[in-house]
């Protein structure tokens, strides 16, 4: 941080003219009027919204009343922020039951005091030898969503400066721990469990909490980028250089998770955040999609110039074309923030 850096500002060129400075406060009145008359004559004044917000304060008007950047009247913002969602959460072709769960919640409140864009997206992929994977994924996704709504969304609507708002990353982590406890306590045999991937878009920022091998991708500025890391044996073997990406696709232990929600009284959660670009797409999916459809194919679908619903269909069909061996969940979010 270099606080003394001067910006490339035409205002600075006038520094020499100003070299004869009034030393003390007593003389400020005269200095004030002179300085301002100079400002009037500079070409600077015609430049709209100069880098220096102090430059063209109209004379006589106290600086306080002048908004520098008024987002409300800014004519360039043609489109309001939005997040559009399309999703598929399907049993697939071979399974008897859908053990995936998905949950989406998008809030759009317009007006002068618009509430921050809020989008909550959850994918959970249940599992368990003989017991109830679908129950685990349901409990996990709903428990987590309730905690986030209670601790982030409701305070957001309350719109109060008072009271302590829990840090967002902590709320997300607690949401996963609560979900973990709920699944664990529901199934003392510890047979069932679930993956749990939560993406929360708040304003321009994406917050992620993640356990398991469901995935989150970001497609923006021509890049298709995985955001989450799988907590799977396959991924770990690749990390230590004992398995190549091609081998991984057909690896017989592809279904083995190293971390899952509901297996112990606590779970290690990956949390992460980043600023989102102004526009782009998020894709969340269970391994019923990402385990059978390559990243290149998912990407090519997201690059097509088709409506969002058709895109979700195309993703779903791609997984079905590969056999639909597993439950298929895809949550697509098209955002403009």
Partner 1 sequence: MGRLTTRQLPGKQGRKKKPTAKIGLQPGDMLQDRYRIVGVLGAGGFSSVYQARDMRFPNVTKLCAIKEMVISAPDPKIRELTIQSFEREASMLAMLDHPAIPDVSDYFTEKDRSYLVLDLIRGKDLDHWLEEQNEPLDQERALDWAIQLCDALGHLHQQKPNPIVFRDMKPSNIMLDQHNRIRLIDFGIAKIFEGSNKGTMIGTEGYSPPEQYRGLATPAGDVYALGATLHHLLTRQDPRLEPPFTFAERPIRPINHTVSPAFEAIIMRCLAYDPKERFANAFELKDALELLSNAGSVSREVSAPLTSKNEATVPEAAAVAVASSSQIQPLWVFKCEDEIRSKAAVTENRVLISVYDNNLYAINKEDGQFVWKYPTADGVGASPCVYEDMAFIGSSDTIMYAIDLRTGRKVWHYETNGSIYSSPTARFEHVFFGSDDGHLYALNVRHGRSAWKVNAFSAVRSSPYVDDERVFFGTEGGYIYCLELASGKTKWQAQARRAVTSSPTFAEEIVFVGSLDGTVYALDAATGWAVWRFRTRRPVISSPVVHDGVVYIGSSDGSLYAIDLNSGRQLWTYDTDGQVNSSPAIWQDAVYFGSTDGYIYSVSCKRGELRWRFDTEKPVISSPTIDEGIVYIGSTNHHLYALPA
Q: 46-65: which residues touch partner 1 (CB under 8 A)? A: 51-54, 57, 63-65
Single residue of 122, 127, 289, 315 touching partner 1 by CB under 8 A = 127
Scanning 126-134, 140-148, 217-225, 301-309 for contacts with partner 1 by CB under 8 A, the matching segment is: 126-134
Q: What is the rounded distance in angstroms from the CA atom of residue 299 to the CA atom of residue 78?
A: 28
Single residue of 87, 88, 138, 207 touching partner 1 by CB under 8 A = 207
Q: What is the rounded distance in angstroms from the CA atom of residue 196 to the CA atom of residue 214?
A: 7
Single residue of 105, 220, 264, 308 touching partner 1 by CB under 8 A = 264
> Could you say whether residue 9 binds partner 1 (CB under 8 A)?
yes
Q: Is residue 201 within a helix (H) or strand (E), and if so which, with residue range?
A: strand 196-202
Between residues 57 and 308, which has the closer beta carbon with respect to partner 1? 57
Single residue of 32, 40, 158, 303 touching partner 1 by CB under 8 A = 32
What tokens appear for 264 in the block?
Answer: 């112990």
> Could you say whether residue 41 binds partner 1 (CB under 8 A)?
no
Q: Which residues, numbered 210-239, are part of the site for partner 1 (CB under 8 A)?
A: 233, 236-237, 239
Single residue of 220, 258, 308, 314 touching partner 1 by CB under 8 A = 258
Dihedral through CA 176, CA 180, CA 182, CA 187, nearest 10? Answer: 160
**Nearest distance from C-beta of residue 69 to partner 1, angstroms:** 6
Query: 332: which residues sit within 8 A by CB, 6+ positions away?
Result: 85, 86, 87, 281, 282, 283, 302, 308, 311, 312, 315
Q: What is the rounded distance in angstroms from the CA atom of residue 230 to the CA atom of residue 243?
A: 15
Place of tokens 């304060």: 57
Q: What is the rounded distance in angstroms from the CA atom of residue 165 to the CA atom of residue 229?
A: 29
> Could you say whether residue 178 binds partner 1 (CB under 8 A)?
no
Count of residues that bind partner 1 according to CB under 8 A: 91
- Give the distance, in angstroms, between the CA of residue 62 and the centroid of all CA atoms in the same chain: 40
Query: 125: which residues sit within 8 A by CB, 6+ positions away?
Result: 99, 100, 133, 137, 194, 195, 212, 213, 214, 286, 287, 288, 327, 329
Scanning 20-28, 79-87, 313-321, 328-336 for contacts with partner 1 by CB under 8 A, the matching segment is: 20-28
Q: Which residues, numbered 130-159, are part of the site for partner 1 (CB under 8 A)?
A: 130-131, 133
C-alpha Rg value of the chain to the nearest Å: 27
Q: What is the rounded distance in angstroms from the CA atom of residue 300 to the CA atom of residue 84?
A: 19
Scanning 80-88, 215-223, 247-255, 296-304 for contacts with partner 1 by CB under 8 A, the matching segment is: 247-255
> Could you say whether residue 43 binds partner 1 (CB under 8 A)?
no
Between residues 53 and 226, which has the closer beta carbon with respect to partner 1? 53
**Nearest distance from C-beta of residue 222 to partner 1, angstroms:** 21
Scanning 103-111, 217-225, 245-253, 295-303 for contacts with partner 1 by CB under 8 A, the matching segment is: 245-253
Q: What is the rounded distance in angstroms from the CA atom of residue 127 to the CA atom of residue 214?
A: 12
**Nearest distance from C-beta of residue 133 to partner 1, angstroms:** 5
Specify the length of the chain in residues.
Answer: 337
**Nearest distance from C-beta of residue 307 to partner 1, angstroms:** 31
Crossing angle between the packed helical segments 133-148 and 168-186, to the nearest 10 degrees: 150
Between residues 193 and 332, which has the closer beta carbon with respect to partner 1? 193
Query: Residue 49 — left, alpha, or beta (φ > 0 → left; ψ -120 to 50 → alpha)?
Result: left
Between residues 199 and 311, which has the closer beta carbon with respect to partner 1? 199
> Could you say whether residue 24 binds partner 1 (CB under 8 A)?
yes
């Amino acid at each position: 941080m270099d606080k003394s850096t001067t910006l490339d500002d035409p205002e600075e060129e006038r520094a020499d003219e100003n070299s004869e400075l009034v030393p003390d406060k007593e003389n400020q009145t005269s200095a004030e009027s002179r300085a301002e008359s100079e400002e009037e004559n500079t070409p600077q004044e015609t430049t709209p919204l100069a880098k220096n917000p102090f430059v063209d304060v109209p004379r006589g008007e106290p600086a306080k009343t002048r908004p520098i950047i008024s987002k409300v009247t800014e004519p360039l913002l043609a489109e309001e922020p939005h997040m559009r969602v399309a999703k598929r959460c399907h049993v697939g072709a071979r399974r008897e039951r859908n053990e995936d769960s998905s949950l989406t919640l998008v809030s759009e409140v317009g007006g002068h005091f618009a509430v921050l864009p809020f989008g909550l997206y959850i994918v959970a992929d249940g599992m368990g030898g003989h017991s109830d994977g679908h129950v685990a994924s349901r409990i996990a996704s709903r428990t987590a969503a309730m905690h986030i709504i209670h601790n982030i969304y409701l305070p957001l609507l309350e719109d109060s400066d008072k009271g302590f708002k829990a840090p967002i990353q902590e709320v997300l982590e607690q949401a996963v721990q609560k979900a973990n406890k709920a699944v664990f306590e529901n199934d003392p045999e510890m047979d069932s469990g679930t993956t749990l991937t939560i993406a929360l878009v708040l304003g321009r920022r994406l917050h992620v909490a993640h356990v398991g091998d469901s995935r989150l991708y970001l497609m923006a500025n021509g890049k298709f980028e995985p955001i989450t890391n799988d907590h799977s044996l396959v991924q770990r073997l690749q990390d230590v250089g004992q398995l190549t990406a091609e081998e991984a696709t057909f690896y017989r232990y592809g279904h083995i998770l190293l971390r899952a929600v509901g297996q112990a009284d606590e779970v290690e959660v990956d949390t992460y955040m980043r600023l989102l670009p102004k526009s782009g797409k998020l894709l969340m999916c269970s391994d019923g999609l990402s385990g059978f459809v390559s990243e290149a194919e998912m990407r090519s679908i997201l690059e097509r110039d088709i409506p969002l619903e058709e895109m979700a269909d195309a993703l779903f069909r791609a997984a079905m074309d590969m056999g639909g061996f597993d439950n298929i969940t895809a949550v697509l979010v098209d955002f403009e923030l």
